[in-house]
Structure 1
Amino acid sequence: MLLLQKQAELPLVWKWILGLAYLVLVGASLMVLWRRFRTKEVKVTLHFSFTWKDLAYLGLFWLSARVIAIVGTLLNQAISGQETTANDAGLQVLAHFMTGGFPLFSLLYFLVIAFIAPIMEELAFRGYPTLDLFKGQFNVWAAIVTLVIFSLPHATNAVEFITYAGMGVLLYLAYRRRGNLLDSIFLHILNNLPAAIYLLLISLT
């Protein structure tokens, strides 16, 4: 976000240096977190194969997440007068900075929204807490704790909290179904991808 805000003040060479440095730093951090998660406990299940049944479940969870997002947005408008959640409003502000901006920064932001953030958030909000706090056990308390720590950073009022909590439940169920964090990661990516593509297209106009 800071790179997008300050891009007009930076010389071209520094834009490339900072953009590539950011990519390396984020990539290295993600790799460390991922490797630690994979080796943290032998019971960690990471199936890279998906059957049609698995894909059908992901599709069902995604459609449910869209319904929750739409209903939550409508309730938020009716109760608080806000046309969108604070999190989505922040994305719209950044869309302004992306319009006609430095292409590498726009591409980095697309990658963050679409892929990097979903992976890191699933590790931080579901993967690690489930292993560290609940010893890899899936139960009601694990669901409650993970959806709370997922919702709090995203919400600014009660309606937004409930909306993100509902989405957190779906992400938890996706993880719990096979005990495979990749399921919730892919669901999270599917949820973020449309907005990320939209912002990228805006930056190209």
Structure 2
Amino acid sequence: MKQRLFSILKFIGFMILSLAPLQILVILIGSQSQFSTMVNSVFGIVFFVLTISIIIFLWKRYIRYSNEKAQKIGLRDLGFAFLFFLMARVIAVVGTLLITWIHGEDMTANDEAIMSITDNSGDFLAFYFFLFVLSLSILVPIAEELTYRGIGANLLFSKKRFWLPLIITSLVFGLMHSPTNIISFLMYGCMGVVFFLSYHRRKNILDSILVHIFNNGLPAIVITLEFMGVF
């Protein structure tokens, strides 16, 4: 019992650690006007180094708890990744439509928070904007997959389990994306299920990371085009 409780506390710590980079970047972006370009550049470099260090730390813990080796991704695996990505997109679109229909909201609170950061994108330092897009599209998906699918599924459950880690890690994933109603909670939870299935197919964390990057890449592209004034 004590060991299980300790494992849960460690998992909570890993979740907080995976959330830290984006939260720190939001603070840096919000306070950028208070510092010179040189100071902001130093902060940005420190942030990038810190984020990479966190990802390396999470990767090592994932390897320790899972004893798995990352497998190469071939064309067949790319095809599966794209199919899982389409599943995630269908869930996101249907969930957003239901939220709009039932609650009259254009998007989830999580998406609204992301978009609010870029509402004044014209005031962004280009360096911070690059870090934001890089974090949203690549760094955050890597950290989240290592935490939820990699560490969570292997730290808290035995390798023979399937349904319990799928359900628990997906529900936690949904809770950590700021749901304000049952639909947004289920939407992110179901997306967590898709990411888990993509990981579990070969027990390869690179597969779910790729699907997550595909998924987050869409809003990152839209935000970048808006920043560039394309539309």
Q: TM-score scaled by structure 2? A: 0.83
Aligned to 2:58: 33
| Structure 2 match to 1:22 | 47
Q: Deviations over 1:93-132 (max 9, x none)?
A: 0112333410110011011101111011111111111111
The partner residue of 1:190 within 208, 211, 214 is 214
Between the aligned residues of both structures, percent identity stands at: 33
> Structure 2: which amino acid aligns with 1:99?
G
Deviations 1:67-117 (A, max 9, x none): 111110000011111110111111110112333410110011011101111
Structure 2 partner of 1:171 = 195
What is the distance in 1 between the residues matched to 2:66 and 2:27? 36
Cα deviation, 1:122-166, whole Å, max 9, x if unaligned, reads: 111111111111133341111111101100011221000111111
**Quick one: distance in 2 between partners of 1:175 and 1:138?**
14
CA offset digits 1:33-69 (Å, max 9, x no partner): 1123224443x1310x223321221111111111111
Alignment of 1:88-99 (within 5 A): 88-99=111-122
Which runs of no fewer than 5 residues in structure 2 stay unpaired?
A: 1-25
Q: How does 1:75-154 map to 2 (within 5 A)?
A: 75-154=98-177
Matched position secondary structure for 2:51: helix
SS of structure 2 residue aligned to 1:115: helix
Stretches of structure 1 lacking an aligned partner (at least 5 in a row): none
CA RMSD of aligned residues (A): 1.4
8 Å contact 2:196–2:208 — kept in the other structure? yes
TM-score (norm 1): 0.93
Aligned equivalents of 2:148 and 2:220: distance in 1? 21
**Match status 1:5 vs 2:33:** no
Cα pair 2:172 2:189 within 8 Å, conserved: no
Using the TM superposition, give the Cα deviation of residue 4 of structure 1 relative to its aligned residue in structure 2, in angstroms: 1.5
Q: Displacement of 1:18 after TM fit?
A: 0.8
Give per-residue Cα distances to partners, 1:4-26, cap 9 Å, x unaligned.
11222221121111111111111
CA contact (8 A) 2:92 2:187 kept: yes
| 1:152-199 Cα deviation digits (max 9, x unpaired) | 011221000111111111111101100111111100000001111222
2: CA distance, partners of 1:140 / 1:86: 28
Secondary structure of the 2:131 match is helix
User: How far apart are the structure 2 equivalents of 1:46 and 1:63?
Assistant: 23
